[in-house]
């Protein structure tokens, strides 16, 4: 093989080569070519690079020569003979632009079908263009936004500290309400699950009232204490706290709850002030996700509330209470709590 001299490699070029070689979002052939050049930069011989990448000496020589002559541009595919592309780079950029924009018709985003119609191309081509650009307009990810609370760090450390290292002989309760649970009935009887046919429900329904649930999760045992209340107000919340007081008589109680006005009502504050066994910890503003009861509410929703059918409000209440009793007997366990700044964003 003819001897090539390795050109000077700017740091940004080397970073791009490393990115390509380690990415699973670029084509395999580009990853391979980038790795061949990195081998060259590292001083690998033809034999070493050949053994590492499973290619021939001719392939190694080709891409070293292309890189030496054209830099990163030399690692792309050369133009091929044949019919010119029907759609230009401008057309592809238009697809990408639309995919990243809100629509002018009130919908939050353009579908692939809508983009194809506006650009005069097939939906499959739109899909190919978006896939090549690593764009997924159909997908949404959520993150925990950074709380504006100036005391976020202190409150967060306080709450997570209770989860991970609670005071000795103390009970940690995560408390919140799940309100406006609808007792939905269907206008036609449900059709049960059968072989070859899923459970089926009519999409028309009737409302039989709503249920409000106030609950406390014992963080280190998983036990749930809950009561159904007709209204989510300070009077009913105080009754629930008194119930907690009677249930756990001879133990220090640390209560974690959010900043709902009901929780900070004057009557609640006055009652708590005379109860030395109670220690209240409020979650930071916009950070109720730190409260573990939210995890249990999601379990309740999945197990009971999703696609439920109740002929009366009373039936829903009875099912909720029955579920909580069974949960405490068979399923209650502490949640494994993890926290890290990677879950936050500015």
* First-residue to last-residue Cα distance in the chain: 53
pLDDT of residue 83: 65
DSSP secondary structure letter of residue 192: P
Average pLDDT score over the chain: 87
> Do 98 and 180 reside in the same domain of the chain?
no
- Distance CA(335)–CA(133), nearest Å, equals 39
pLDDT of residue 194: 81
Whether 146 is in a domain gets the answer no
Whether 145 is in a domain gets the answer no
Closest of 284, 319, 329, 9 to residue 152, by C-alpha: 284
Q: Are strands 278-282 and 344-345 parallel, antiparallel or unpaired?
A: unpaired
> Do 157 and 99 reside in the same domain of the chain?
no
Backbone angles phi, psi at 22, to 5 degrees: -100, 0
Whether 84 is in a domain gets the answer no
- Distance CA(296)–CA(14), nearest Å, equals 49
CATH number for the domain spanning 171: value is 3.30.420.10
Mean pLDDT by 10 residues, the chain (346 residues): 72 88 84 91 90 91 90 80 71 87 78 88 89 83 76 92 92 96 85 79 85 96 95 95 95 96 94 94 91 95 89 94 96 79 44
> Do 207 and 229 reside in the same domain of the chain?
yes
> Do 128 and 161 reside in the same domain of the chain?
no
Per residue in 155-170, pLDDT (tens digit) is 999 999 999 999 998 9
Task: List residues bridging with 224 in a β-sheet.
Answer: 217
- pTM here? 0.62
> Do 320 and 184 reside in the same domain of the chain?
yes
- Distance CA(265)–CA(261), nearest Å, equals 6
> Do 122 and 212 reside in the same domain of the chain?
no
Q: What is the CA radius of gyration of the chain?
A: 31
> Do 161 and 290 reside in the same domain of the chain?
yes
Tokens of 312: 């009366």
Tokens of 316: 């829903």
> Do 326 and 181 reside in the same domain of the chain?
yes
Q: Are strands 170-186 and 252-257 parallel, antiparallel or unpaired?
A: parallel
Whether 139 is in a domain gets the answer no
pLDDT of residue 320: 96
Tokens of 122: 């097939």
Cα dihedral 48, 51, 52, 54 sign: positive
Q: End of a domain among 33, 53, 75?
A: 75
> Do 213 and 313 reside in the same domain of the chain?
yes
> Do 162 and 102 reside in the same domain of the chain?
no
- Distance CA(121)–CA(91), nearest Å, equals 9
pLDDT of residue 337: 67
- Distance CA(3)–CA(232), nearest Å, equals 81
Please say whether the beta carbons of 172 and 254 come within 8 A. Answer: yes
Tell me how many domains the chain contains: 3
> Do 46 and 157 reside in the same domain of the chain?
no
Q: Are strands 205-218 and 224-229 parallel, antiparallel or unpaired?
A: antiparallel
Task: With H, G, I as helix, E, B as strand and everything else as coil, classify residue 81.
Answer: coil
Task: List residues bridging with 212 in a β-sheet.
Answer: 229
Tokens of 116: 């194809």
Domain residues for the domain of 106 are: 89-132
Whether 140 is in a domain gets the answer no
Whether 160 is in a domain gets the answer yes
Please say whether the beta carbons of 241 and 248 come within 8 A. Answer: no
Whether 80 is in a domain gets the answer no
Give the helix/strand (H/E) hosting 267.
Answer: helix 266-273
Please say whether the beta carbons of 212 and 228 come within 8 A. Answer: yes
Whether 20 is in a domain gets the answer yes
> Do 302 and 183 reside in the same domain of the chain?
yes
């Amino acid at each position: 093989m003819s001897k090539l001299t390795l050109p000077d490699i700017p740091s940004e070029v080397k970073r791009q080569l490393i990115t390509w070689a380690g990415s699973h979002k670029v084509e395999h052939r580009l990853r391979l070519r980038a790795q061949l050049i990195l081998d060259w930069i590292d001083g690998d011989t033809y034999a070493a690079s050949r053994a590492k990448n499973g290619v021939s000496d001719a392939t190694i020589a080709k891409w070293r020569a292309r890189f030496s002559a054209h830099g990163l541009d030399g690692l792309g595919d050369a133009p091929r003979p044949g019919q010119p592309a029907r759609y230009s780079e401008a057309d592809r950029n238009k697809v990408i632009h639309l995919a990243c924009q809100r629509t002018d018709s009130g919908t939050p985003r353009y579908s692939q079908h809508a983009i194809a119609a506006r650009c005069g191309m097939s939906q499959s081509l739109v899909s190919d263009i978006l896939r090549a650009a690593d764009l997924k307009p159909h997908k949404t990810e959520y993150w925990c936004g950074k709380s504006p609370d100036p005391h976020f760090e202190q409150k967060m450390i306080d709450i997570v500290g209770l989860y991970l290292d609670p005071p000795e002989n103390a009970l940690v309760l995560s408390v919140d309400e799940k309100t406006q649970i609808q007792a939905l009935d269907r206008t036609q009887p449900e059709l049960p699950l059968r072989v070859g046919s899923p459970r089926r429900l009519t999409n028309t329904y009737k409302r039989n009232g709503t249920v409000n649930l106030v609950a406390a999760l014992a963080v280190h045992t998983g036990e749930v204490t809950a009561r159904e209340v007709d209204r989510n107000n300070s009077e009913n919340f105080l009754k629930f706290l008194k119930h907690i007081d009677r249930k756990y008589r001879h133990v220090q109680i640390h209560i974690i709850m959010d900043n709902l006005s009901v929780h900070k009502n004057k009557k609640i504050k006055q009652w708590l002030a005379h109860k030395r066994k109670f220690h209240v910890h409020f979650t930071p503003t916009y950070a109720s996700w730190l409260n573990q009861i939210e995890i249990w509410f999601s379990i309740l929703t999945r197990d009971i509330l999703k696609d439920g059918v109740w002929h009366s409000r009373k039936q829903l209440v009875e099912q909720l209470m029955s579920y909580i009793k069974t949960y405490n007997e068979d399923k209650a366990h502490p949640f494994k709590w993890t926290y890290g700044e990677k879950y936050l964003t500015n």
